[in-house]
Amino acid sequence: MKPTVAPFPLTRMRRTRQSPAIRALVRENTLTSDDLIWPVFVRDGEGMEEPVSSMPGVLRRSVDKIVEAAAEARDLGIPVICLFPYTDPALKTEDCAEAWNPENLSNRATRAIKEQVPGIAVMTDVALDPYNINGHDGFVEDGVIVNDRSVDALVKQTLSQAEAGADIIGPSDMMDGRIGAMRRALEAEGHKNVTIMSYAAKYASAFYGPFRDAVGASGALKGDKKTYQMDPANTDEALRLIERDLNEGADMVMVKPGMPYLDICRRVKDGFGVPTFAYQVSGEYAMIQAAAQNGWIDGEKAMLESLMAFKRAGCDGILTYFAPAVARLLRDG
């Protein structure tokens, strides 16, 4: 039923905007720290915190410093921390075997967080690009990113992460059939409660550049990822991908990037009613930070407004590098 609005002056829309108390009373969407997932970058070494030049305020941290970050997140009420490894180039190979090494950076950080920071959930990234000498999310054969062999490797990576204690597996690779293969393997190996948040609608976007700097993949990438990541012109395809991944055993789904794809978030939430997340990616973060540092926008207000846009579009949560700053602002009022 279409709502009816009485004519002016019986209806004065400004009545409900006249004070902070009334605005709060009728506010349709609310942002809390429970909505946040904090992506962090882990590197080798000890006592290390290394700035990422293209992402102001973001650090690559050694495992001990990642544990400190996880404790900070827990204390701020952020429920999930998401790990991305900055892999030594010497460990990047054609066969990507470091991806399922029990002692790789991601697995060591996962175990350390689970041992030392109870109460926070750990999400991990499933893709071969941090370990691939070619910089791609799957194996490259004769210049082609092959699907089925890549899925077999991704399953091994998934099991390695589950055995390390990951609570949420985040397949970001966009290979066909990987969710079903991962879910079957997790069930068979006794990891029945490991959750899968599928990067189900991941676009071949220009907004990933600073992230690739952060994980050391920019120089390694040969070609582009357009044969497996989505065409930015497509929307119906995103819904087909969401439906497929849910049918294969995904518990939650993600749209990536975030702000340029709010229409996709809305269609996914309306169409499926499942836990829906968006990733406010590195390029989105860097643009807001750069504009704020130049004095062109109010950085705090822009940060909060950008995250509220995700809630308004139907998202249940957001992966954002702003997570600790937002949580502190929300805590302090």
List the catalytic residue out of 202, 225, 269, 311: 202
Amino acid letter, 112 = A
202 labelled catalytic: yes
List the catalytic residue out of 65, 92, 225, 256: 256
CA 178/CA 175 separation, integer angstroms: 6
| DSSP bridge partners of 80 | 37, 121
192 labelled catalytic: no
Q: Give the CA-trace dihedral at 285, 286, 287, 290, to 10 degrees.
A: 130
CA 289/CA 283 separation, integer angstroms: 10
Active site residues: 202, 256
